Amino acid sequence: MNSATPGATTSIEPASVRIDHLEQGTSLWKDAWYRLKKNRVALFGLCAFCSVAILCLIGPYFTGRTYEQTEIGLKASSPMESIFLKTEAFKGGESKRSFVALSNLEDEFLDRTKSDRKDVVEKLARGGAYREGKITYEPSARRYLFGTDPLGRDLLTRVLIGGRISLAVGFAATLVSICIGALWGATAGFVGGKIDSAMMRFADVLYALPFTVIVILLMVMFGRNFILLFVAIGAVEWLTMARIVRGQIISLKNQEFIEAAISLGLPGHRILFGHLIPNVLGPIIIYATLTFPQVMLLEAVLSFLGLGVQPPLSSWGVLIDEGSRTMETSIWLLVCPAFFFSLTLFSLNFLGDGLRDALDPKSSKD
């Protein structure tokens, strides 16, 4: 048996720890991005929404036409329909050039018999030129990818410009609803007591009122202002956000880090804006992606009622309304804007569901 010598000190060597074997922690946002990347449906929604937004932002610069440029000879021409250049000569060497769609050629020869008109149109359709007096018709390389509307305006340009406005309405109104709802709900949840009850009863009263009617009243009272449309829609979409934030704040304000902040004597506004609201950004972002399509749908409803964007501007809701009136004869006027509108709504819903799963701290790590 070994006995320790009296007075001798025993040295204990620290255990060597392999630092590289320790698992490095990740932040909530990095972990959420990792989960989001593994969700293919959510990634598709993100890519589709970004693609539509970029296309609407820069696309009109490459179409070569404006959203208000009209050509009476091109009225209601179908997508990729043949276009002809009409040149009318005048005295003094001056001439007037315009474009005529194949479907509108017969209107150019109304003074002729039906059979004669048909022969001229067939000749032009085969790629030949036609001359009658001082007027010449010849094939043109111009094409309209989405066709034109009843006023001869390029539908592609109008769809892209309309997308700008619809996305701007959705973004601005969603931002307004987030600011109002998050501040209202956070204040009510943090203060509590009678103030909380009074604030949420006011929200319940607004819940009982039909949103569309409130927006219509605001638009009628203050005029059909484009900026007011953002505020009006955002002012009626904040109620659910307020409830969500209030519930999150109530569950957080009794946590240890909040009690420590109160014990240190931090003022209420610093606790609220510095500690509580940053910890509920996840639910706020999730609900924002779900509010965006709701706002766009509400704007489309207002456009159907004639209270949305006013001419000559257009939004997807306005274009869908115009297309629904001529769907029996010009179905493309409805299909093209409806496709972009539906794609945006689906992509935002897919993205919102993916963000909800990615930012859920209770979901298990893969």
The pLDDT assigned to 44 comes to 92
The pLDDT assigned to 50 comes to 93
Q: 3-state DSSP call for residue 190? A: helix
The pLDDT assigned to 361 comes to 54
Closest by alpha carbon to 316, among 152, 174, 144, 158?
Answer: 158
Examine the pLDDT at 365 and tell me if it is beyond 60. no
The pLDDT assigned to 241 comes to 87
Give the separation between CA 88 and CA 102, rounded to whole angstroms: 18
Residue 14, burial from CB neighbour count under 10 angstroms (0-12, 13-18, 19+): exposed
**Percent of the chain that is helix, strand, coil (3-state, to 5):** 65, 5, 30
- Asked if 173 contacts 295 with a C-beta cutoff of 8 angstroms, the reply is yes
Mean per-residue pLDDT for 75-89?
85
With bands split at pLDDT 50, 70 and 90, how would you rate the model's confidence at 130? confident
Q: Name the average pLDDT for the chain.
A: 80
The pLDDT assigned to 57 comes to 93
With bands split at pLDDT 50, 70 and 90, how would you rate the model's confidence at 174? confident
Give the separation between CA 128 and CA 261, rounded to whole angstroms: 84
Examine the pLDDT at 155 and tell me if it is beyond 60. yes
Most confident of 94-103, 124-133, 169-178, 298-307: 169-178
The pLDDT assigned to 325 comes to 86
64 dihedral zone (left: phi>0; alpha: psi -120 to 50; beta): left
Give the separation between CA 237 and CA 298, rounded to whole angstroms: 10
Least confident of 22-36, 118-132, 152-166, 340-354: 22-36
The pLDDT assigned to 58 comes to 93
Residue for token pair 């009006």? 232
Least confident of 38-42, 78-82, 211-215: 211-215
The pLDDT assigned to 112 comes to 60
Closest by alpha carbon to 190, among 103, 277, 115, 85?
Answer: 277
Residue for token pair 């307020």? 242
The amino acid sitting at 12 is I
Give the separation between CA 65 and CA 53, rounded to whole angstroms: 19
282-292 confidence digits (pLDDT tens): 888 888 888 88
Examine the pLDDT at 281 and tell me if it is beyond 70. yes
Examine the pLDDT at 17 and tell me if it is beyond 70. no
Least confident of 140-144, 221-225, 313-317, 332-336: 221-225
The pLDDT assigned to 364 comes to 43
Question: What domains, with CATH codes, occur in the chain?
Answer: 73-140 (no CATH), 155-358 (1.10.3720.10)
Examine the pLDDT at 51 and tell me if it is beyond 90. yes
